[in-house]
């Protein structure tokens, strides 16, 4: 049987405010446990919440960026459940009147098509603390530093039909919130977390199947794997004539396994009701206009500009413009390097590969865009070969030296481009390889000839101690060997 896959996402986006949503405690990441958990965050008796204006500003900016209506009078509700990382015994969140109403995001598909994913709403809420399960004599330790960190939870319509689309949407959203500067986008620290709702239905059917929710995916890769895994799991069940249980599942990315956390029957009765400690929040036109005026360039606009300003193709521009830090890095490299296409290649090639290999974000990169730009300059003006450029890149990355030219000098990577000197070397090498010269000259097939040419390059590079300009060597060889 053929199946349609239906995917909706819920994305928790931690807002980059200085303080918590309802208290003046710092939200800085990485502090000692519970040193940023104060009376309000710990739900000490008698303490009361006072909302952070910046969280509302950020939520409004997000709403504007995804073409959504802003709710002028939003209300906080209490979602009641007990958990050690939830100090009040309820989460303060928004249900009936969330700050951001329906909107949409357009995503680019690898096929070149554009797809619209509708946003159902986005609401403000507080994050929970963290439970640490390493062994405290069989106990769990609770750190409440994160408790009360502002989140927006973005809920999409079930508009995506495969993992590729879901990941493209997730990346697009990541690009939007980081471009807005409302989230640091650092997924390894939990700044963005994805819940994926998946259901299957017979191809072409109008009726949605029973869905499952896979929670707390914190990388694009895990998200892609988890979707593939869940689709396969559901398909196996359905094709064996079984039924899908509506449930919440937990995916283990390291083992590519998932298991049920709770079924619908076990689901909590959250007893939502309006929080009596908080009043309705009214957002007026001037607040919205101020937020609108503070909107920075967003990925779509940036992509168009990259195509226009740097002559990049659609694919390269989309990739570089999608992530605000990567975009800034590229622009620094392109401006300094004066060759945008080459800069783009290096940013997407060597640079991105290296970040991935070391699981680093652009922000954690040891080299700057300008440094990469310097390298691009030296590649473009033939000072160094591409092999030499890789060596310079290595030296920059490892922090040996921060000047491209100094590295070139120190490592003697400057190419020899003096044709006289190069011709002398070619003469010498050819004189030492008479058999190969004859072979070459007797060969008629141009393809084989070209290949045989390579046989001379090794000794030539050796003779030049690796500094001969390979392009020039090639020209001279062809000329000397006679066409």
Least separation, in Å, of the C-beta of 152 and other proteins?
A: 15
Given candidates 4, 10, 34, 157, which one binds other proteins under the rule CB under 8 A? 34
Between 262 and 451, name the residue whose CB sits nearer to other proteins.
Answer: 262
- Rounded Cα distance, 47 and 148, in Å: 13
- Rounded Cα distance, 341 and 338, in Å: 9
- Rounded Cα distance, 383 and 337, in Å: 13
Which residues, 442 to 481, sit near other proteins by CB under 8 A?
Answer: none
395: contact with other proteins by CB under 8 A: no
Given candidates 106, 109, 140, 221, which one binds other proteins under the rule CB under 8 A? 140
- Rounded Cα distance, 234 and 314, in Å: 36
Candidates 119-127, 267-275, 427-435, 460-468; binding stretch for other proteins (CB under 8 A):
267-275
Instruction: Tell me the two tokens of residue 211.
Output: 């869905």
- Rounded Cα distance, 91 and 80, in Å: 6
419: contact with other proteins by CB under 8 A: no
Q: Each residue of 460-481: b (16+ CB within 10 Å) or e?
A: bbebbebebbbebbbebbeeeb
417: contact with other proteins by CB under 8 A: no
45: contact with other proteins by CB under 8 A: yes
Given candidates 6, 42, 298, 453, which one binds other proteins under the rule CB under 8 A? 42
141: contact with other proteins by CB under 8 A: yes
Given candidates 9, 11, 37, 327, which one binds other proteins under the rule CB under 8 A? 37
279: contact with other proteins by CB under 8 A: yes
- Rounded Cα distance, 130 and 87, in Å: 11
Given candidates 3, 4, 29, 38, which one binds other proteins under the rule CB under 8 A? 38
C-alpha distances (whole Å) from 44 to each of 80, 83, 87, 93 are: 17, 16, 9, 19
Least separation, in Å, of the C-beta of 131 and other proteins?
A: 5
208: contact with other proteins by CB under 8 A: no
Between 124 and 413, name the residue whose CB sits nearer to other proteins.
Answer: 124
Least separation, in Å, of the C-beta of 45 and other proteins?
A: 4
CA-based nearest residue to 159, from 117, 201, 121, 194: 117
Based on its alpha-carbon atoms, the radius of gyration of the chain, rounded to whole angstroms, reads 29
Start-to-end Cα distance in the chain: 61
Residues 232, 234, 238, CA angle at the centre, nearest 5°? 115
What element of type H or E holds 202?
strand 192-202
Given candidates 14, 23, 385, 415, which one binds other proteins under the rule CB under 8 A? 23
Least separation, in Å, of the C-beta of 387 and other proteins?
A: 50
Candidates 139-147, 173-181, 388-396, 437-445; binding stretch for other proteins (CB under 8 A):
139-147
Q: For residues 305, 307, 308 and 311, what is the CA-based torsion angle, rounded to 10 degrees? A: 140
Between 56 and 440, name the residue whose CB sits nearer to other proteins.
Answer: 56
Residues binding other proteins (CB under 8 A): 17-19, 23-26, 32-39, 42-56, 73, 78, 80, 82, 84, 87-90, 131-133, 136, 138-144, 250, 261, 268-269, 271-274, 276-282
């Amino acid at each position: 049987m053929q199946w349609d896959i239906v995917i909706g996402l819920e994305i928790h986006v931690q807002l980059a405010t200085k303080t918590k949503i309802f208290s003046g405690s710092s939200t800085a990441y990485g502090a000692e446990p519970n040193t940023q958990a104060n009376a309000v965050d710990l739900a000490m008796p008698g303490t009361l919440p006072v909302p952070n204006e910046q969280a509302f500003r950020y939520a409004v900016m997000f709403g504007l960026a995804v073409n959504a209506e802003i709710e002028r009078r939003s209300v906080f509700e209490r979602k009641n459940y007990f958990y050690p990382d939830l100090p009040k015994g309820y989460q303060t969140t928004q249900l009936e009147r969330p700050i951001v109403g329906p909107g949409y995001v357009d995503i680019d598909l690898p096929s070149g098509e554009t797809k619209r994913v509708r946003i159902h709403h986005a609401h403000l809420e507080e994050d929970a603390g963290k439970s640490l399960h390493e062994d405290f004599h069989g106990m769990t330790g609770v750190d409440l530093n994160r408790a009360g960190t502002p989140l927006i939870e973005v809920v999409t319509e079930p508009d995506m039909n495969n993992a590729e689309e879901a990941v493209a949407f997730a990346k697009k959203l990541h690009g939007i919130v980081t471009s807005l500067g409302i989230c640091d986008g650092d997924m390894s620290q939990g700044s963005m977390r994805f819940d994926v709702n998946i259901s299957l239905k017979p191809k072409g059917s109008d009726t949605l199947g029973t869905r499952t929710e896979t929670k707390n995916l914190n990388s694009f890769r895990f998200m892609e794997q988890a979707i593939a895994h869940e689709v396969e799991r559901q398909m196996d069940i359905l094709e064996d004539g079984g039924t899908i249980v509506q449930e919440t599942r937990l995916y283990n990315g390291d083992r590519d396994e998932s298991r049920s956390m709770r079924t619908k029957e076990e689901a909590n009765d959250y007893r939502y009701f309006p929080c009596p400690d908080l009043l309705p929040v009214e957002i007026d036109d001037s607040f919205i206009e101020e937020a609108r005026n503070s909107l920075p360039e967003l990925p779509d606009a940036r992509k168009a500009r990259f195509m226009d300003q740097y002559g990049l193709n659609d694919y390269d521009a989309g990739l570089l413009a999608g992530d605000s830090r990567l975009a800034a890095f590229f622009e620094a490299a392109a401006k300094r390097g004066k060759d945008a296409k080459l800069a783009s290649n290096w940013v997407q090639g060597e640079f991105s590969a290296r970040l991935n290999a070391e699981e680093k974000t652009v922000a954690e990169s040891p080299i700057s865009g300008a440094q990469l730009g310097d390298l691009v300059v030296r590649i473009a003006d033939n000072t160094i070969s591409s092999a030499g450029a890789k060596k310079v890149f290595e030296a920059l990355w490892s922090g040996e030296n921060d000047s491209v030219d100094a590295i070139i000098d120190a490592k003697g990577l400057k190419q020899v481009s003096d044709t006289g000197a190069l011709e002398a070397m070619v003469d010498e090498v050819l004189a030492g390889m008479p058999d190969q010269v004859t072979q070459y000259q007797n060969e008629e097939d141009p393809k084989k000839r070209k290949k045989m040419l390579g046989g001379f390059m090794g000794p030539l590079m050796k003779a030049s101690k690796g500094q001969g300009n390979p392009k020039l060597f090639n020209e001279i060889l062809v000329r000397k060997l006679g066409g």
